[in-house]
Amino acid sequence: MDKSEIILLSFLAFVVAFVFMVFVWYRQKRENDFKMREAFMAREVAEVEMMALRAQINPHFVFNALNSIYGFVQSNHKDMAAKYLVKFSSLIRMILENSVHKEITLAEDLNVMELYIQMEQLRMQHGFDYKITVNENTDAENMMVPPMIIQPFIENSIWHGLNNHTQKGLLQLLVNVQGNNVHYIIEDNGSVNSATEKNEVEAAKKKSMGVSITQQRLDVLNK
């Protein structure tokens, strides 16, 4: 084998190695691009799902509020209906403003929850008191949370825990932030009245629509 043949074979080996390296790089790039597109599509799907779930929770809440207003009107408590309607309109405005955001500050969300609780106080003719406690180390003005994520649980506590309570009720919402995690503790001193125990137990067995939707929202968030 003369020198020219050796040079030619060496050149061919270099070309083959170069082509192979380009092929490997191109295939890796295509795989990475595909994974990026897949991840982007997954995020897009998750965001659409979240928007749909947020759209479901608002009508569910509004339906219950309108039922309360109707109850005041039916019982001829027009002053109570007017007060409730003022708070309801303020709450709807806040909900609509927050619904366009995937996350709002913890302080904003707690303001919405407090207004909701005040509405329920009116519906129950101040049959319960409430207390919202935020851990002193929590920066509620800068901590971001999904809007109305705890509203269905507060609703269940009021409707199933305090609604038939014969004594003065107490609803407590404790908020504690640990790292990037927000811990909510909702407590009430309600009890099941013996006369309505069967109905309350049956109602408790039925899964709340609001809680079900919230569970789906959390599943999407965890994706």
The C-alpha torsion from 88 through 90 and 93 to 98, rounded to 10°, is: -100
Q: What is the pLDDT of residues 134-143, one digit of tens each?
A: 998 888 999 9
- Cα separation of 210 and 56, whole Å? 9
Q: Name the residue with higher pLDDT: 132 or 201.
A: 132
Q: What is the pLDDT of residues 189-204, one digit of tens each?
A: 886 553 455 455 555 5
- Cα separation of 174 and 187, whole Å? 8
Helix axes 78-99, 106-123, angle to 10 degrees: 160
For residue 16, count other CB atoms closer than 10 A to its CB.
10
Cβ contact 160:204 at 8 Å:
yes
- Cα separation of 85 and 74, whole Å? 15
What pLDDT is stored for residue 194 in this prediction?
Answer: 39
- Cα separation of 72 and 163, whole Å? 16
181 forms bridges with which residues in the sheet?
A: 178
pTM exceeds 0.85: no
pLDDT band at residue 206 under the 50/70/90 scheme: very low
Task: Look up residue 193 and give its two tokens.
Answer: 């009245």
Q: Name the residue with higher pLDDT: 207 or 189.
A: 189
Cβ contact 72:78 at 8 Å:
yes
185 forms bridges with which residues in the sheet?
A: 174
Q: Is the pLDDT of residue 159 over 90?
A: no
Name residue 37's amino acid.
R
